[in-house]
Structure 1
Amino acid sequence: MAIESSGWATMGDVAEKAGVSKITVSRVLRSPDKVKPETRERVRAAIAELGYVPDEAAGGLSSRRSRIVGAAISTLAGSTFASTVDGLGARLRQNDHQLLLAGTDYSSAKEADAVATMLGRRPDGLVLTSTTHREETRRTLEAGRVPVVEIWELPADPIGYAVGFSNRDAGAAMAQHLLATGRRRMAFIGTAGEGDRRGRLRYEGFAEVLEQSGSAEVRATAAAAGTQTARGARGLAAVLDRWPDTDAVFCSSDSLALGALSEARRRGLRVPDDLAVAGFGDFEFAGEFGLGLTTVRVPGLQIGETAAQLILDVNAGIEPGDRTIDLGFEVIARVTT
């Protein structure tokens, strides 16, 4: 049985582009070993160029809408995107839609697989926490006829829509806060993930302010292995082993900051007297009834709700006034600085 297209490039388009029959295209998709290698490669090249996605749900839907929204989330571990997923799912359920989740581990290859799989289910929209995509993924998304919302960042040229805040400005704001407390020898602790663009932007904003101040020095390290907490501990250890006079660290997430605080305690350092520690995200454990961690608070729940509403509005024929929605951030000063 032939696979029907998901609403943009059709199987017929692929067949015409490759100079083969629709049956041959179907065989390449279902039983590639039964097709000659040169024909198979020609069909696959046409699929990539046209952004064709097989519709695995074809024939099984009674209406044009699936009432499913897909979300490719950089990580499903920890608290990073928890409130955003909660907001996204809740707003969709209020409008009789369901959320389909996939974790990408900050990998553009895994994101590409997730996007292809989700588009095959004919979703009513897609939400992506990454704005760094493979060229073929972006081409497929741009060719699609579903709303795409990139979140937690504000790309200059969003695929469809963007909801988030400026990570660069957030890093800059934390640098200004630490400068105001008298710190001058500061370090940034991030991760070495392939797709952690947000962390890099936070570092760039942080470093830029310190460099412009003319009175502060910034050091940076990234730990690639282990849990976020373990990475934070290893990151602080690396910083202090190389620069023992460091007087403040800004971590690209609260989970990293938790590890840094644990390493500081292990070394007998007093926080904030000997070392100031700041994080990002304002996770529940960072609050006044937890660690009392200085951090950057972002409106995670609102980001999810807004992304969901954008998709619902676009599918209802309501065009948003702006393609990019900046929900801002806030530096929350607590006892660790």
Structure 2
Amino acid sequence: MTKNPTDSAPPAAGPAARRARKNTGRVTLSDLAQLTGVTKVTVSRALNNPELVSVETLERVREAVRQTGYTPDLIAGSLASNRSHLVVALIPAMAGSVFQETVAALTAELATAGYQLLLGQSGYDESREEALLDAIIGRRPAGIVLTGVIHSEASRQKLRAAGIPVVETWDITRSPLDMLIGFSHTRVGETAANYLRERGARHPAIVTPGDRRAKLRADAFIETFGGNVPVAATPSPAHLGDGRRALAKLLDEHPQIDAIFCGADIMALGVLMEAHARQLDVPGRLKVIGYGDQNFAGDTEPALTTIRIDGTRIGKLAAAMLIEKIETGACKRAKIDVGFTLIERGSA
């Protein structure tokens, strides 16, 4: 049997691949077809259903991909199939964040189902909410995961009109936009106040970031404990040095303070360092409780008592709910309260 020369010819050499990129701006299926001497349909089969083409053709296509650096056009593919496999998640901060477990779980669960996660950093300025949502909706993702709940009616209307499945996370509300997985920040503050009171605290103070969810925790702590509770608030995201400086200022102005509720574990670590520098016994002289149960919390001296949020569970549930809504048009459980756990250690 005589072979067609184009069936066995090797992919074009580097210069041809460079010409393809120069002419089109990016390497396309048509370029790969030209380089390998087969049809676009055959190239597509080799990339998406390799079992449907011969071993020889598959290797030629793969070699062409290696030479050209070709990557599939996912946007074009989603337009052709009327379905995107991109999910966008917005979190306030990346580094050192309590949201890292959620992001890791989201990434893994979505990938298993054939979806890719695009991560964006929204910051803590809620005034940017509408502009960010415009940028996301314009890219027509399959789903959106938000940190916190949407409060702007304009933003809620935009998302409803877009028809894109949305999961709000890490907060709770009676009127979720679509799907919701979270917990009550108010209850976190109440729990911290009751715990410190039961442990003998009489003159507590609060060290907290300044974002809305942290403020909910702080306000609930103050209301539950009663009396005048000094507050040292810093802009979000919080840093270790913020905790040190906040405790120093609080003790200088209110030397009777005997307990600190910290709105973030990283601030609690700074509080512990400042207490150690001042030779204050923790928890004898000063009780300290954090929020987040970050990976260092069990290794501080003393180990940090804190509020743990199951970020992994939030991520897994968010992925499952999104996939169900995307693929079936409905979600059986649209609102889940995951609660939280007070982790008792040595600092309080």
| TM-score, normalised with respect to structure 1 | 0.76
Q: Which residue of 1 aligns with 2:271?
A: 260
- Percent of aligned positions that are identical: 39
Q: Are residues 1:140 and 2:153 paired? A: no
Pick from 229, 241, 259 the counterpart of residue 252 of structure 2: 241
Q: Choose 154-163 or 131-140, whichever is displaced more.
A: 131-140
- Higher RCO, 1 vs 2 (CA within 8 Å, ≥6 residues apart): 1
Answer yes or no: is the 8 Å Cα contact 2:93–2:237 preserved in 1. Answer: no
**Cα distance change of structure 1 residues 210 and 327 upon mapping to structure 2, 3 Å threshold:** same
2:243 is the alignment partner of 1:232: yes
Measured against aligned partners, the alpha-carbon deviations of 1:285-316 in whole angstroms (never above 9, x if no partner) come to 00257751000011111001101111100112
Larger helix proportion, structure 1 or 2? 2
Match of 1:78 in 2: 96
- Separation in 2, partners of 1:326, 1:226: 25
Matching residue within 147, 153, 172 for 1:154:
172
Q: Retained in 2: the 8 A contact 1:310–1:320?
A: yes
The question of 1:282 aligning with 2:284 is answered no
Deviation for aligned residue 1:66: 1.2
Cα distance change, pair 132–237 in 1 and its aligned pair in 2 (3 A): farther
Provide the rounded CA distance (Å) in 2 between the counterparts of 1:120 and 1:223. Answer: 34
Matched, 1:116 2:134: yes
Q: Give 2:113's aligned amino acid.
A: N
Provide the C-alpha distance between the structure 2 equivalents of 1:96 and 1:73, rounded to a whole number of angstroms: 22
SS at match of 2:81: coil
Structure label with greater radius of gyration: 2
SS in structure 1 opposite 2:136?
A: helix
Deviation at 1:328, TM superposition (A): 0.9
Identify the residue that residue 317 of structure 1 maps to in structure 2: 328
Q: Distance in 1 between matches of 2:112 and 2:312?
A: 15
1:308 is aligned to 319
- Write the deviation string for residues 247-281 of structure 1: whole angstroms up to 9, x where unpaired: 00001111111111112122221211111111001
Deviation at 1:231, TM superposition (A): 1.6
Q: What's the RMSD between the two structures over aligned residues?
A: 2.1
Match of 2:214 among 190, 193, 199: 199
Give distance in 1, aligned partners of 2:178 and 2:139.
19
Give unmatched runs, 5+ long, in structure 2.
Answer: 1-73
The verdict on how the C-alpha distance between 1:225 and 1:105 changes in structure 2, with shifts beyond 3 A counting, is closer
**What amino acid is aligned across from residue 166 of structure 1 in structure 2?**
S
CA distance in 1, matches of 2:104, 2:187: 25
What one-letter code is carried by the residue in structure 1 that aligns with 2:194?
Q
Q: TM-score, normalised by structure 2?
A: 0.74
Q: Give the number of equivalent residue pairs.
A: 275
One-letter amino acid of the structure 2 residue matched with residue 106 of structure 1: Y
Moved more, 286-295 or 137-146: 286-295
Contact kept, 8 Å, 2:144 with 2:167, in 1: the verdict is yes
Q: Which amino acid aligns with 1:112?
A: E
